Structure 1
Amino acid sequence: MNSIYIDRKGKLDRIALIEGGELVEFYNDDSQKSILGNIYRGRVVNVLKGMSAAFVDIGVQKNGYLYIKDALNKNQMYSDESFTIDEVLKSNQQILVQVTKEPLGEKGVKLTRHLTIPSRNMVLTPFSNKVHVSKKIGNPKELIDLGEQIIRDGIGILFRTSSKDATEDILKAEYEDLVMTYYNILKEENYLPTPKLLYKEPGSLYGIIRDYYREGSYKIVSNDKDILEEIKESSYFEHYNFNNALIYDPEFSVDYHMDIQMGIKEGLSRRVDLKSGGYIVIDETEALSVIDVNTGSFTGITNLQDTVLRTNIEASYEITKQIRLRDIGGIIIVDFIDMKETENIQKLLSIMANEFKKDKNKPYIVDITKLSLVEIVRKKTRPTLDKQNTILCPTCGGKGRIRNNEIR
């Protein structure tokens, strides 16, 4: 059985997701500090026509960045006309915005006016009047028909994968709850003060339970009785059936759980060894992340082509897990060992694409080059595992190298 572990210390929740006995996601979550998904009434500070963007004050340390495609209102989105940023926004204008990316390094938050409000089985999409269904649902027609019956006031929805197992009554009730939440936000649009937080997105814990918990497949373990009671009584989980899945373990600690500690150690290491004797090397930079695959001590059994294929396939499973565990986002380049057979290349890409389906941040394989470099993009929303759990070395400044005494 898979597990969601919660280690609460004061305001900090350390949350670990274990699947198949391995750590696949880990969060240090201070729900008071997290702003991802929050909705604010903000004030436009600067409109930069040359950058087709604007900066918006939402009351945090740095002004948020709003690109023109995210700044269009609903009418402008569906218009055949083209708009410049100064036609869309004016300085000192008050607008509703949602945080889509937390501050990363020197960059401020990224914003959008296209609000979305998620729940277990659907996502409310007020800026769309259409019904969308997760691509993971094989036959979407029944849900599309139901969605067209229940949507109102031009407020669309996206059915999540879990909706295929939900009853019609639950889906209708969930939609109405989301619509009421949206209208309550709109009521605050034109009031003072500005900036102001209007909607607080539940923290990582609620998001993990919402996205992954399935009755009979997961247990939720914590060393804090109050948090288990909070989960059980929360209206956010009113349609969930936890039964005996909520387990209180006063002795549990992230610091002493072997699977979690081994996973964290691996997730913070530059080199990850494969069972065959091969290994992968992962380097994260500001611009992109690079992953290199090596055969190491694995010499194979039959021939070089077979050795290369076996190493690459084993590495592909580990790479997809590490990308998810480390929460690496943006551009990712994977340097596999060169393969000549098209059939083997397609097999490798198919395995990666299938493994990426487990990742809620939806990694996408863009292409593979003639040099066997696989180009991947993944949604970047928060600091990586490394950024959350380490600090910059004051001696080498993050280079991992110090100056040779002989050349000083």
Structure 2
Amino acid sequence: MSEEILMNITPMESRVALVENGVLQEVYVERSRNRGIVGNIYKGKVVRVLPGMQAAFVDIGLEKAAFIHASEIFDRNNRPEGAGEPGIVELVREGQSMVVQVTKDPIGTKGARLTTHISIPARYLVLMPHNNHVGISLRIEDPQERERLKDTVERLLEQESLNDKGGFILRTAAEGIGEQELLADILFLHRLWTTVEEQIKESSAPDCVYEDLPLHLRTMRDLVEPDIEKIRIDSLDTFNKVCKFVRKLVPHLDGRVEYYTGERPLFDLFSVEDEINRALSRRVELKSGGYLIVDQTEAMSTIDVNTGGFVGHRNLEETIFKTNLEAATAIARQLRLRNLGGIIIIDFIDMEDVEHQRQVLRTLEKNLERDHAKTNITGVSELGLVEMTRKRTRESLENTLCEACPTCNGRGTLKTAETVCYEIFREIMREARAYENDTYLVLASEAVVDQLLDEESDNVAELEAFLDKTIRFQVEPRYSQEQFDVVLV
């Protein structure tokens, strides 16, 4: 599989696109004005303890207080066996300072999510300062390689007398990596944590004591895998910074980083710009003629599969099966591209054949294997729906690039001109009962006034006769279709 990473950098915004076989799969956007804070470590202050929710709110210096659950608080006390999990009131108190790490950016109306289980990633390893365990990514499947890596790290920790100074998780990128590279990561992470500890001692809450890398360097640390062929960057300054980072931490990638100087904008390659715009649409066309409808809400995201213009060549069941197979591949890509998280409900077209259901589900699972976010599929429900979850750590592409429509306030629909006309009639009736007046002026949008003077003109005449009043109309260009005013003149 051919993979490339494209980095489009401007002073205001950084964008990273992951392209597989010429097709955009993931896009990351970071704006200078509001950089994400996942991975940042703060010295915070507990501002409110909620025993009923087993949680607390912590001030880390943001506009909204951040949220931490009791299960995310590191218990330093050795509890007797069978004592059960400690309650939130045993772990924290109001006014207390605590060191926390952000696991989820503030999303919508919710504040950031926190943990005290600190972890700091490098290229091959993740340091866990409060844990002495050595773990390995589940994506490294070879038992011999898993054993080799674990033995190597444990031996290096003993050699450097660091056994009791934190544990490590070996990342997927560590597969096949030698002893020297692993040792370099171990020493780098311990030096970094020592610096953070000093910062914690010197600072007063609330304060940021460790900030994660900017997007272009996080990309090199987290997304670049051995099969990446090219990393193209259109900013010379960022190119130089990435090259310096690569030479220090991932030297085998040195020849793959390229400064892009082409005439066409970098994101016009592989139609990345067009794909981003398409990812903001509800409708996703399938090559067969079928289509998906993707709806994102605060509670969950839903994806509906439709055959559309695809009629197949054999029978209905075969048509449905082929559409669902193509949809399963497209859905996996859309989840990554749109960065949909939380609960996701997929309504495939109903299949009677159990083997067809199994193959569609397997296709979805196989295509999600390359997803960097953790996913969990529960199978097909009694209603024929596929229920799944995808870990959400940052805003979706839609929430990053868009805002709720000020006209419909995010509903996605508007009242018809006819509906608004009848609301106006009712408002005039209310005004007539409350005030003695001869003339009413209706201020409304052009569409509504046109409807009142044309299709509803008979009703207007009847209302004037019934009330014995004059009704006049005036177009207000700035009014939305739902806005109107009835003025006494």
Tell me the TM-score range normalised by the shorter chain. over 0.9
1:109 matched to which residue of 2? 112
TM-score (norm 1): 0.94
The amino acid of 2:404's aligned partner reads: L
1:273 counterpart = 2:276: no
Cα distance in 2 for partners of 1:43, 1:21 equals: 48
TM-score (norm 2): 0.79
Cα distance in 2 for partners of 1:245, 1:78 equals: 54
Matches of residues 4-403 of structure 1 in structure 2 within 5 Å?
4-30=5-31, 33-75=35-77, 80-81=82-83, 82-138=85-141, 139=143, 140-151=146-157, 152-153=163-164, 155-215=166-226, 217-234=228-245, 237-250=248-261, 251-253=263-265, 256-257=268-269, 259-403=271-415
Which secondary structure does the structure 2 equivalent of 1:234 belong to?
Answer: helix
The amino acid of 1:391's aligned partner reads: E
The amino acid of 1:13's aligned partner reads: S
Shift of 1:377: 0.6
The amino acid of 1:220's aligned partner reads: I
Shift of 1:133: 1.2
Q: Structure 1 residues 215, 135: CA separation in 2 closer, same or farther (over 3 Å shift)?
A: closer
Runs of 4+ in 1 over 6 A off after TM superposition: none
Cα distance in 1 for partners of 2:62, 2:76 equals: 26
Which secondary structure does the structure 2 equivalent of 1:376 belong to?
Answer: strand
Q: How much identity, in percent, do the aligned residues show?
A: 35
Q: Deviations over 1:159-188 (max 9, x none)?
A: 111211211111122122112222322233
Unaligned runs of 5+ in 1: none
Q: Deviations over 1:87-111 (max 9, x none)?
A: 1001111111000000111111110
Q: Structure 1 residues 397, 90: CA separation in 2 closer, same or farther (over 3 Å shift)?
A: same
Shift of 1:380: 0.8
Shift of 1:274: 0.5
Q: Are the counterparts in 2 of residues 42 and 57 from structure 1 also a CA contact under 8 Å?
A: yes
Larger radius of gyration: 2
Q: Are the counterparts in 2 of residues 232 and 242 from structure 1 also a CA contact under 8 Å?
A: no
Q: Quick one: higher RCO (CA 8 Å, sep 6+), 1 or 2?
A: 1
Cα distance in 2 for partners of 1:78, 1:364 equals: 34
Shift of 1:361: 0.8
Q: Are the counterparts in 1 of residues 246 and 254 from structure 2 also a CA contact under 8 Å?
A: no
Q: Structure 1 residues 123, 397: CA separation in 2 closer, same or farther (over 3 Å shift)?
A: same
The amino acid of 1:42's aligned partner reads: G
Higher helix share: 2
The amino acid of 1:113's aligned partner reads: T
2:466 matched to which residue of 1? none
Cα distance in 2 for partners of 1:79, 1:287 equals: 38
Bigger shift: residues 49-58 or 279-288: 49-58
Q: Structure 1 residues 268, 213: CA separation in 2 closer, same or farther (over 3 Å shift)?
A: same
Q: Are the counterparts in 1 of residues 6 and 267 from structure 2 also a CA contact under 8 Å?
A: no
Cα distance in 1 for partners of 2:201, 2:120 equals: 20
Shift of 1:52: 0.7
How many matched pairs?
A: 408
Cα distance in 1 for partners of 2:78, 2:209 equals: 24
Which secondary structure does the structure 1 equivalent of 2:184 belong to?
Answer: helix
